[in-house]
A and B are shown apart, each in its own frame.
Chain A
Amino acid sequence: MIELYAIARHPGPPLPDLAQLRAVPSNGLAALCGPAADEGETTEEALWRHEEIVEALMLDRDLLPVRYGTRLADEQAAADAVAERRGELLAALEHVRGAVELSLRVRARSPGRAPELHALRSLARDQVERPGRDEHELLRAAYLVDRDAVERFSEEVARLQDANPELALLLTGPWPPYSFSQR
């Protein structure tokens, strides 16, 4: 069994020397994968380890991260899966070219409205904004931001925080573009 980490253009730069990574080519794309480890629990450590691999790959190439725990029988299955969706994968890769994902969450002690987000949207290429999951979470959002716009974006969030002292804004990233990989 193999574990699938990400999908990228092929040919591409050499792979990092990690987790026995291999690039399985498929007509201009590649499935970046490695041997699947024994099925363990989904622990924090396992998630961070997986994330480290995806981020190492992202250092020198655009990629679409694959959902955690995606296992396939063998490399042929991976090549087939990629071939089947070639068009949409190429389009998604183009959409995320040179960009990273930033996560913004807004919480408050009392129920209320999320702050005005125009400024953030104007700094992003794309966004996904959703209402919170509980009464104290006002907003869950993901922003697709050019790699070199991350600092400006962070500064804008800091400004937003200052303007809304009763709220708590949490910005994390840069993440691989998990929220922008599927259309």
Chain B
Amino acid sequence: MSSSIAGRDVALVDLVDRLLAGGVVIAGDITLSVADIDLVHVSLRALVSSVPSLEARGAMPRMGDSL
């Protein structure tokens, strides 16, 4: 009848579905750099702008690390 799958194993799929694909998504920002020079600042709200223009406007604080 029932197999030896632990209740926890079966519940794991439901857990993964929730933790990795559910919940509130807090947007972060990332900065793309090449050769240690920051080039592109990308917000997960799909705003793409160049770093100099952001700095000129009084830059948003950088939350991510360089890639």
Contacts and interface: CB of A to CB of B under 8 A. Distances in A.
Q: Touch between A and B in complex, CB under 8 Å? A: yes
Nearest to A68: B19
A7 B24 contact: yes
Given A47-B15, A66-B24, 8 more contacts: A64-B23, A65-B18, A65-B23, A66-B23, A67-B19, A170-B10, A175-B18, A176-B23
B56 interface: no
A151 B25 CA distance: 30
B59 interface: no
B17 to A, nearest CB: 7
Chain B at the A interface: SS class: helix
Contacts, number: 80
Interface residues of A, number: 36
15 contacts: A42-B20, A47-B15, A47-B19, A65-B23, A65-B24, A66-B25, A70-B25, A71-B28, A72-B63, A77-B61, A92-B24, A103-B14, A103-B17, A173-B14, A176-B18
Interface of B: 8, 10-28, 61, 63
Interface string A38-79: 000010100110110000000000001111111111000110
Given A47-B19, A73-B61, A67 B14 contact: no
Residue among B13, B26, B63 with max Cβ neighbours from chain A (10 Å): B26
A181 B23 CA distance: 6
Interface string A125-139: 000000000000000
Contacts of B12: 44, 47
A70 B20 CA distance: 10
Contacts of A64: 23-24
Contacts of B63: 72-73, 77
